[in-house]
Amino acid sequence: MLKKLLLFLLLSMSLSLFAAQKINGAGATFPYPIYSKWFAEYQKTHTDVEFNYQSIGSGGGIKQVLAQTVDFGATDAPMSDEELKSAKTPIRHIPTVLGAVTVAYNVKGIEAGLKLDGETLSNIFLGKVTKWNDATIAKLNPKAKLPATDILVVRRSDGSGTTAVFSTFLADVSKDWKDKVGAGKNINWPAGIGAKGNEGVTAMIAQTDGAVGYVELAYAINSKLATASIKNKKGEFVAASVESISKAASAVKDVSGDLRISVINAEGKGVYPISSFTWILLPENAASAPLKEVRAFLGWALKDGQKFAAELHYAPLPAKMAADLVKTIK
């Protein structure tokens, strides 16, 4: 009996030695497709690491990393100075890729080619423009046969970095929006119905004629939703693509300081104006074994993982920026 007990204890100890290191993270739905791909690829060569990422929105990710219930967070909206001050340990923002928030729609009669400027888009989400054949939309799309369908605005119901990116753009291009609504992860929406996550908004648009909402580019493409071309600072109507998203980051040169960098409504020709970095929130706690693994993973993601970005409709970081960030992490 004693021999069996000793054998059981030795076997248990051996198994524990070879158990995978579990890494828990939570946050943005915006980068979930690329992060899922990265975790799967990384674990092919690092079988001793297991990632558990909960796609709960940027607001939830920030709350959990502040509460220290996860090893890392993820957000599309940088933490505020107040949030950073409230952290029990310093938290560093690490940009991982760039993505785009698209204006996706489902309207019979407008299968593709819709053009919208910031002011019209603002008025749609303010509830002022309520029909698809409204004169302001018609003026931007003179050749389109716009139906008299009611517009149903679909927006996020949860704290969301995607919302922060979208509302920041609207506040930048529309004084009316800035004064009445403002920007942030959680805002008081003047119109529409809410859905949870990029997944929920995408599903609601897909099943509702007349719907319009904002979702990350990969979700729109994977669900075969039509997306509008948006007027940028140069006056061009630009569709979201890996190329037009990349151009938004072309002006970023220095990554040595605070990395809460905005490229929303950036200057430049061919820029898609609702583009943004997405960030991993990395607590600076060198004594933590999981955090050492997160740093190692981020080094891989910034070097080898960038090649997977374009196929999933994200823009990789500029090569020099990624290389500098690897040094920063080390």
Average pLDDT over residues 45-51: 94
Contact 192, 142 (CB under 8 A): no
Domains in the chain, ordered, with CATH?
Answer: 21-98+277-329 (3.40.190.10), 101-249 (3.40.190.10)
Q: Which residue has the higher pLDDT, 1 or 250?
A: 250
Helical H segments across 94-150, by residue range: 118-125, 135-140
Digit-coded pLDDT (tens) for 253-298:
666 778 898 999 999 999 999 999 999 999 987 567 788 899 999 9
pLDDT of residue 3: 58
**Mean pLDDT score, 190-213:** 96
Whether the predicted pLDDT of 18 surpasses 60: no
- Report residue 66: phi and psi, to 5°: -70, -35
Q: How far apart are CA 14 and CA 35, in angstroms?
A: 31
Q: Please report the pLDDT score of residue 286 as a whole number.
A: 55
Buried b / exposed e along 229-242 (16+ C-beta atoms within 10 A): bbbbeeebbbbbbb
Range in 164-168, 208-212, 247-251 with the lowest mean pLDDT: 247-251
Q: What pLDDT, on the 0 to 100 scale, is given for residue 287? A: 60
Mean pLDDT for 233-254 is 90
**Rounded Cα–Cα distance for residues 61 and 197 (Å):** 13
Find the mean pLDDT for residues 98-115.
95
Quickly list H helices, the chain: 2-17, 32-45, 58-67, 81-86, 118-125, 135-140, 161-173, 175-180, 197-206, 217-222, 242-246, 289-303, 319-329
Residue 210 makes CB contacts below 8 A (sequence gap 6+) with 106, 107, 132, 149, 150, 151, 152
Cα radius of gyration rounded to whole Å, the chain: 22
pTM of the model: 0.85
Give me the chain's average pLDDT, please.
Answer: 91
Q: What is the pLDDT of residue 15?
A: 42
pLDDT score of 168 more than 90: yes
pLDDT (0 to 100) of residue 209? 97
Q: What percent of the chain is predicted at pLDDT more than 90? A: 80
- Please tell me the predicted confidence (pLDDT) of residue 1: 55
The pLDDT tens digits of the residues spanning 118-157 come to 999 999 999 999 999 999 999 999 999 999 999 999 999 9
Strands 211-216 and 229-231: unpaired
Q: What is the mean pLDDT of residues 10-24?
A: 63
Measuring CA to CA, how many Å separate 136 from each of 140, 142, 179?
7, 10, 21
Judged against a pLDDT cut of 70, whether residue 2 lies above it is answered with no
Whether the pLDDT of residue 212 is over 50: the answer is yes
Nearest Cα residue to 97 out of 159, 28, 157:
28
**Token pair recorded at residue 83:** 């949030």
Answer for the pair 161, 58: CB distance below 8 angstroms, yes or no: yes
The DSSP bridge pattern shows strands 193-195 and 226-227 to be unpaired
pLDDT of 193 > 90? The answer is yes
Kindly tell me if the per-residue pLDDT of 189 is higher than 70. yes
Examine the pLDDT at 7 and tell me if it is beyond 80. Answer: no
User: Where does the pLDDT of residue 6 fall: very low under 50, low under 70, confident under 90, or very high at 90 and above?
Assistant: low
**Beta bridge partner(s), residue 238:** 230
